Structure 1
Amino acid sequence: MKPTFAKIMKFSTICAIVTSIGITSGTVSAAPAAKPVPVKSNPIQTIEFKTNDKFEDLRFLKNVIGNKKIVMIGESSHGAAEFNKSKARLVQFLHKEMGFNVLAFESGLGDTSGTYANISKLTGEETLRKSIYPVWHAKELVPMFDYIKQQSTSKQPLILTGFDMQPNPDFGRFMETWFAPIDKQFAVEAKNLEKKLTNIYYNVDWNQADWDQDYTYVLDGYTKIQKFMAENEAALQKDFPNNKTIMPIMKHVIADRIYMIQNMLKYQVAYNNLTPENYVVSKSLRENVAYLRDEMMASTLTWLVDNIYKDQKVIVWGHNYHVRKNNSVMDSPVQLHLYEGGSVQNMGELMPSRLKQKTYTIGLFMYEGATAGNDGKAMPVSTTKDPDSVESILKSTGKSYAFVDLTSPYNKEWKNSTHNGMYWGMIEEPFVPSQQYDGILFIKKTTPSVYLK
């Protein structure tokens, strides 16, 4: 089928572009009334973040999650205040009550880990701003980052890290500060190199006619950084005498930059320049930027779990698209980069089987209200829904907030059959709930995030 190309919103990351087949809006045709489906759920009383929370309404999760090593928490949309609040409270519960001591964001590994290494010099809000992508620079997340700051000096800190590979000027500034005592000129060059790579990656203030020379510049530049770090490892480590993970993490970041430049960057540049008129469906997974990004994220997350935090339990924070378990089986109109072979494997699907067995994956969905695009602009949640949709089924609980465990013997009437769920509250995606998630957190009504200025 010949695809049509709809850009629903412009993101600050690659997951910013929603590619749809034959869909250009969030409206759907009305469907006949469906017979009510019984739902077994756990009501949640509040989503507010509190320092003295007793978590009475979340204690059921101890039995639900059990001895899993990884909990992935998704969201059908970035930019929903209630998603941020509920996830922040889940993070606090998992940390305080279940010993999950690592929080890995869908943000740059270098940005997050470098910022956390300097957390003693920062406020909670500064940590938030410097570490994670702007889609989460929201006031409702400041209390969680204040908590991360407070816990950083405790016997059980909540360690902040990330698993994404996209370049970011914040990482360039980190390198500049870190390298400057050894070689001030090289430090400035490293900062400018990251800025240049960022401009190429996002097609910002960059001319594609300069590709050949710029490709050589960035590849040589990160190779030089790799050599610089190897030659000056002892001096660099002195800046973080009590942090034994900073060097292996930063070495991994630079190795990832080199791999991305060699294996992905030219396809990213080509993708950035696609329009409805010249859209090309990828014929190989090695050319599909959605797959390549998720492949790298899965590799980095696996590396963190196996090597850096092998004795820790890890919370993963990202979009439903990246954390759901079997994207390749979804016959979805939403694919970030169309592939002639169908839906591509995502990060959750690309994780090793041995880690999948130790993972509990939670999807977040809302029924009504509004959310925001990555540009911060409010967008209404579609008011027209299939009465047999996931959201309509969960709304029948009558609760503002409810959690459904899909691994339990309950909810057989609907969890193992195909239902629509809304991507970003706008586009219907058909999927089998139990095939994609172990649990679903339902928020009846959302409002747009309140972004930090």
Structure 2
Amino acid sequence: MKKLVKLNKKKGKSQITMLALSTALTGIVGFSSVSSASAAVPTITEKLTIENDLTVKQARTSNETIIEWKNWVNDRAYSLTSIQPEKVEQQKIPSSNFEDLEMLKPLLHDKRIVFLGESSHGAAEFNLAKTRLIQFLHQEMGYNVLAFESGLGNAMNAQGQIGKQTAEQTMKNAIFGVWWTKETLPLFDYVKKTQNTEQPLVLAGFDIQQQGPFTNGDWLQNSQLAKQLKDTENELVDWSFGKDLKGYQKAKPSIVKVYTQVKSQVKLKEKELKAAYPNEPHIVKLMERILSERIRLANEYVELDIQSNIELEQNNPTTFYKTMEWRDQAMLANLLWLAEEIYPTEKFIVWAHNDHIRKAQSEVMGTPYPVKFMGELLPEIYKKYSYVLGIYMAGGETASNNTREPMNVLPPVKGSIEDILSTTKKPYTFIDMRYRQNERGNSWMFEPRLSYSWGFIQESLVPRDQYDGLLLIDKVSKPNYLK
């Protein structure tokens, strides 16, 4: 789950109060589960106050320099004509609809993974823009795997049964509830329509967090074991939100035993698995992987999570940070496994929060998560052949993860990333940084600049050290959530 942050000034220091949001959808640490596909995620509220001696600053800059930067951006930025998802006509979108995205082809022609970030999970326009970008990347550039910051097993389940379900049900099975919106639904309608073409867009997940059942267990043909699996999934969620460390240590062997028993049946029930998941040809390998991950999670992670719950009540974030690192290490391992073992010849699109994908998260000043996330841990060979797009907003309102209440996006700070890019006065502004050398007019890319995470958490980062490109959406709004 992601922690939401409020910054308050106290005795010359930044006091960071972190309230745990009840969805695991931003995804930093811990588990969230739903009792059914459409149920709300259980709420947990943790409070942590950290005295942070670092003051978030950007370099002092003259008005003349800022004007110079803005003139440079005005001359070189690209403006998207639309962020609305395109309509499929006779199993294809007319290529002429993507003329405003043609500038991406030379930037991405040799890239295997395109990371699509977002500074908030609660912005309708982010969902729309990313959907249209995915349509372009898939149809025009052959990116055939779409991997979400959502459960490995849940996406497996959704892909395997995509032919049996509506686009909305596939969406709800595959991804966390923060993206269950009218703005995201066209993406799953598009995914579904591609399944019977020569170039299907395949759904995948790489998160280790629980988000509801990843299988109903019918393929086991053993109702008792299937029920044990379901009960164990729920039990694991309950433990991860608790503080009874000794109790969990006693219960852990029986939890691991159930997952081990189910895993032992996977190859024996290959025929039944393939019948249950006809649209997932890799179902055996995927099912074995998710069960192995559950065993590792039960053995390693949940105790950390419980210890973190105890320490957070004492304003001690030590183990909390360890759980965040554990999660991102596991997400990266899953993503690399998918890229190397399941889809070794395919190109990937990755959908996740900016925090997870940027290249040096631990160097971001002002972030409440000063640890190495998956983007920073990505092997160098993958960094060479990937492109990281950070997506930001300059105004409007975004939604809270758990309450879904609107939150105002703060006005851009003078000289900030949002301020510099918004000089175009266009609704959707893209700038490439990957292939830029430091020159007169673009030094802002190579030095610390302020920006807002979630529209109000002030951070300082060197843009080119974190991203390859930036997309600024001038104004965002709260998503239209589906029940």
Calculate the aligned-residue CA RMSD, in Å.
2.6
Report 1:46-445 matches (<5 A). 46-51=82-87, 52=93, 54-171=97-214, 174-179=215-220, 182-203=221-242, 210-240=247-277, 243-275=280-312, 278-282=314-318, 288-335=322-369, 343-375=370-402, 376-383=404-411, 385-409=412-436, 412-445=442-475
**Larger relative contact order (Cα-Cα within 8 Å, sequence gap ≥ 6):** 1
Q: CA deviation at 1:273?
A: 4.1
**For residues 74 and 20 of structure 1, what CA distance do their matches in structure 2 show?**
28
**For residues 186 and 303 of structure 1, what CA distance do their matches in structure 2 show?**
28
Q: Say which SS state the counterpart of residue 71 (structure 1) adopts.
A: strand
Q: CA deviation at 1:202?
A: 3.9
Deviation readout 1:404-441 (Å, 9 max, x if unpaired): 10113266321111101101011111100000000011
Q: Say which SS state the counterpart of residue 396 (structure 1) adopts.
A: helix
**For residues 242 and 451 of structure 1, what CA distance do their matches in structure 2 show?**
28
Q: 153-162 or 408-417: which moved more?
A: 408-417
Q: Does structure 1 conserve the Cα–Cα contact (< 8 Å) formed by 2:331 and 2:374?
A: yes
Q: Does structure 2 conserve the Cα–Cα contact (< 8 Å) formed by 1:5 and 1:279?
A: no
* Residue in 2 that maps onto 1:45: 81
Change (3 A) 1:241 1:333: closer
Q: CA deviation at 1:76?
A: 0.5
Q: CA deviation at 1:176?
A: 2.4
Deviation readout 1:95-129 (Å, 9 max, x if unpaired): 01000000000000100111111001101011001
Q: Does structure 2 conserve the Cα–Cα contact (< 8 Å) formed by 1:18 and 1:334?
A: no
Q: CA deviation at 1:197?
A: 1.5
Count of residues in Structure 1 that have an aligned counterpart in Structure 2: 432
Deviation readout 1:215-261 (Å, 9 max, x if unpaired): 22322221222222244334433444674311111111111111122
- TM-score between the two structures when normalised by the length of structure 2: 0.83
Change (3 A) 1:2 1:43: closer
User: Which amino acid in structure 1 is aligned with residue 232 of structure 2?
Assistant: L
- TM-score between the two structures when normalised by the length of structure 1: 0.89
**For residues 62 and 357 of structure 1, what CA distance do their matches in structure 2 show?**
16
Q: Say which SS state the counterpart of residue 359 (structure 2) adopts.
A: coil
Deviation readout 1:151-178 (Å, 9 max, x if unpaired): 111110000010001123231xx24233
Q: CA deviation at 1:265?
A: 1.1
Change (3 A) 1:28 1:431: closer
Q: CA deviation at 1:397?
A: 1.5
* Residue in 1 that maps onto 2:90: none
Q: Say which SS state the counterpart of residue 168 (structure 1) adopts.
A: coil
User: Which amino acid in structure 2 is aligned with residue 192 of structure 1?
Assistant: D
**For residues 339 and 48 of structure 2, what CA distance do their matches in structure 1 show?**
32
Q: Structure 2 unaligned segments of length 5 or more: list them.
A: 1-11, 30-45, 88-92
User: Which amino acid in structure 2 is aligned with residue 43 of structure 1?
Assistant: S
Q: CA deviation at 1:22?
A: 5.3
- Structure 1 vs Structure 2: percent identity of aligned residues? 34
Q: Say which SS state the counterpart of residue 446 (structure 2) adopts.
A: coil
Q: Deviation above 6 Å: which 4+ runs of structure 1?
A: 16-20
